[in-house]
């Protein structure tokens, strides 16, 4: 499509013309917009940085960017690019014309065949996420959009978890989600499996699609939680026996015996009429495996991978004294820490303090500047070295890193 000759004066970054408001939440507004160069319709999520003063909110935004940039699936909303000014962050995303699935089902329940179609697409998207170490944790009809072609699109990954958030016990522990869709094991506050929680939410969604109402609902939140914990729900008379049986496996209150994605694909009700995974291009660049990493935050990895440098988007007054550098090495973490200590010995004026795992802090005797160096395992063969200025003179920090430490590590 040829580029438009005229670019409106108020075009965002001389590229996007903001249009009507599509939705509004506590921390963001979503607008329809037009790429003035190509004419393409997009949705732009606008977030005010001042509303991200809470550390967890900032983490949610960073996580959403890192996750969406790595996901490429026909039933997941695409993130095209992230832009920022001093006060705002802009997510430029695929525009999904049909609106929320919630709006459609609120007009009346779906037939069993249509419910199956949407559920198959949902499971395809969720299974894809799980295979990449991503757990949505807030699946509900309001976070599922409908495209012009009648296919659904999963959106809103702000509460998603990645494998690096799993504790040593193998479980997630952050309480999140929407009350009516929350899995019973989350209520126990003992930790939960992100994949099993998503399967439970998918079961709630399937029930809503065909029944037109929630399986667990009560004006009193505690009463509703008790129903969820005990698995007390009933199916309307029009549901087939196959769907009722399938729902009982999805809404199994015991996460250990709850049906898995792999088992869902083999279920007779799910596969009735035939089921084929959608064909689409799978990305094979570095970004694909970033969310598999357990020892380094996914956003940190993406922020210094090629193609998406987000380091300037989240300027925070608390971090104004720090600067960060990264490099990738095939040396062992232990060897790299030893190399840093050797450089410090050569400098003489630097105090050296070993940190837990693979880390070391260097600080000049008179406190003019300090450097913290940490080493993280990236894959079986690769590790990442992160150097951060902790205090003092920025130029002295850069000189020491660029002229002393970095050359030693790259030898």
Q: Using one digit for the tens of pLDDT, what is the confidence trace for 234-256?
A: 999 999 999 999 999 999 999 99
- pLDDT band for 281, please (50, 70, 90 cuts): low
Half-sphere exposure of 70 (CA within 13 A, CB side): 28
| Residue 198 structure tokens | 């998503």
Q: Which residue out of 14, 138, 156, 399 is catalytically annotated? A: 138
Residue recorded with tokens 């199994």: 252
Q: Check residue 302 and give its pLDDT.
A: 37
- Say how many CA atoms lie within 13 Å of 82 toward its Cβ: 22
* Distance in angstroms (rounded) separating the CA atoms of residues 173 and 165: 9
Q: Is the pLDDT of residue 43 over 70?
A: yes
pLDDT at 186 over 70: yes
| H or E element in which residue 269 lies | none
By C-alpha distance, which of 337, 387, 392 is closest to 364? Answer: 392
| Domain 101-266 fold | Transferase(Phosphotransferase); domain 1 (1.10.510)
Instruction: Report pLDDT digits (tens) over 80-115.
Output: 888 878 788 888 888 988 878 888 888 899 999 999
CATH 3.40.605.10 fits 16-94, yes or no: no
Which CATH fold would you assign to the domain 321-410?
A: TATA-Binding Protein (3.30.310)
Task: Considering only residues 312 and 48, tell me which one the structure prediction assigns the higher pLDDT.
Answer: 48
Letter string b/e over residues 211-250, b meaning 16 or more CB atoms within 10 A of that residue's CB: beeebbeeeeeeebbebbeeeebebeeebeeebeebbebb
Give the tens place of pLDDT for each residue, 216-235.
988 887 888 889 889 999 99
Average pLDDT estimate for 267-290: 67
Establish whether 138 is a catalytic residue: yes
Domain borders along the chain are 16-94, 101-266, 321-410
pTM: 0.63
Name the average pLDDT for the chain: 75
């Amino acid at each position: 499509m040829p580029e438009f000759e005229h670019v409106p004066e108020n075009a965002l970054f001389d590229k996007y013309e903001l249009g009507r408001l599509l939705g509004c939440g506590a921390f963001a507004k979503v607008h329809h917009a037009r790429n003035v160069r190509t004419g393409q319709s997009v949705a732009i999520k606008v977030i005010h940085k001042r509303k991200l003063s809470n550390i967890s909110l900032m983490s949610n935004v960073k996580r959403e960017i890192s996750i969406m940039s790595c996901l490429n699936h026909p039933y997941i909303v695409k993130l095209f690019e992230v832009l920022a000014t001093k006060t705002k962050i802009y997510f430029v995303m695929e525009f999904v014309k049909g609106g929320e699935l919630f709006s459609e089902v609120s007009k009346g329940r779906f037939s069993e065949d249509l419910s199956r179609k949407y559920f198959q697409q949902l499971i395809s998207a969720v299974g894809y996420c799980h295979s990449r170490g991503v757990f949505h944790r807030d699946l509900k009809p309001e976070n599922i959009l409908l495209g012009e072609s009648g296919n659904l699109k999963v959106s809103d990954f702000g509460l998603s978890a990645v494998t690096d958030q799993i504790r040593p016990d193998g479980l997630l522990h952050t309480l999140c989600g929407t009350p009516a869709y929350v899995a019973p094991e989350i209520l126990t506050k003992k930790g939960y499996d992100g994949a099993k929680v998503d399967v439970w939410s998918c079961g709630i969604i399937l029930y809503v699609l065909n029944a037109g109402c929630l399986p667990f609902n009560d004006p009193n939140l505690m009463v509703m939680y008790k129903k969820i914990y005990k698995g007390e729900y009933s199916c309307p008379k029009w549901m087939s026996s196959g769907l009722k049986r399938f729902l009982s496996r999805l809404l199994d209150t015991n996460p250990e015996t709850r049906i898995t994605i792999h088992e869902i694909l083999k279920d007779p009700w799910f596969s009735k009429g035939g089921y084929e995974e959608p064909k689409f291009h799978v990305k094979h660049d570095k970004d694909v495996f970033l969310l598999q990493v357990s020892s380094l935050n996914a956003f940190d990895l993406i922020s210094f991978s090629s193609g998406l440098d987000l380091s300037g988007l989240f300027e925070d007054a608390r971090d104004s004294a720090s600067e960060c550098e990264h490099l990738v090495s095939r040396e062992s973490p232990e060897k790299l820490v030893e190399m840093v200590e050797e450089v410090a010995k050569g400098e003489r004026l630097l105090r050296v303090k070993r940190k837990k795992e693979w880390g070391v802090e260097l600080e000049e005797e008179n406190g003019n500047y300090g450097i913290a160096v940490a080493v993280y395992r990236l894959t079986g063969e690769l590790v990442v070295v992160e150097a951060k200025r902790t205090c003092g003179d920025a130029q002295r920090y850069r000189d020491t890193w660029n002229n002393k430490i970095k050359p030693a590590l790259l030898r």
